[in-house]
Amino acid sequence: EISRKLLWVAQTGLLRCVAELLPPAKDESDPFSGLRILDTKQVLELVQAMHQKLAECLVQSITDSPIADAGPSFDGQRNNCKFCVDPAVFKMKYGGLEDFEKGVRELVGAPHPQVWDEINKEHMQRGDESTRSFHPGNYNTETCSRNEFLVVIDSARGKEVSIGK
């Protein structure tokens, strides 16, 4: 759920809105210098002052990038970012032993118990979304989620589309 929300937020103007609301740099070499000098009280005041503008940006983002489009297969090109380390989408951090013991399940939730059914549904049963063409960006071709799935599950199909590439 969090990953899908992060993908949607990264594709809207929300991050830019937040960045524009942060205090200006005091030092040209450090864009966060205006933020670093704030104490806790000033940060709270900043957040309170930001809430109206941020609400306006959120409403605009919902209008411009409908939440219904935030599904995992809504756009192959944008969805490729799930394979990269984009700071707008993923935040890396070190954890402690407690984090390790909780594991990934605590962080992102348990996988769906019917993994095959969910993968099949995501790639093959999403109506127009399953056949909407996109350019994946990691190779120079046009495809759709249905074709991508078929290439993976059918070795003959995979060989057929890979000839000469």
Dist CA 102 CA 21 (whole Å): 35
Mean of all residue pLDDT scores within the chain: 78
* pTM greater than the 0.75 cutoff: no
Dist CA 8 CA 72 (whole Å): 10
Q: Among the ranges 81-85, 86-90, 143-147, which has the highest mean pLDDT value?
A: 143-147
pLDDT by residue (tens digit) across 17-73?
A: 888 889 998 887 888 889 999 999 999 999 998 888 888 888 888 877 666 444 444
Q: 11 burial class (0-12, 13-18, 19+ CB within 10 angstroms)?
A: buried
Least confident span in 74-83, 124-133, 143-152: 74-83
* 85-108 mean pLDDT: 73
Q: How many CB atoms within 10 Å of residue 153?
A: 13
Q: What is the pLDDT of residue 40?
A: 94
Return the DSSP state at 23. Answer: P
Q: What is the pLDDT of residue 69?
A: 45
Alpha carbon of residue 98 to chain centroid:
26
Q: Which amino acid is at 29?
A: S
Asked if residue 17 lies in contact with residue 57, where contact means CB atoms within 8 angstroms, the answer is yes
Q: What is the pLDDT of residue 43?
A: 92
Dist CA 46 CA 53 (whole Å): 12
Using alpha carbons, select from 148, 128, 152, 129 the residue that is nearest to residue 138: 148
| Better-predicted residue by pLDDT, 151 or 82 | 151
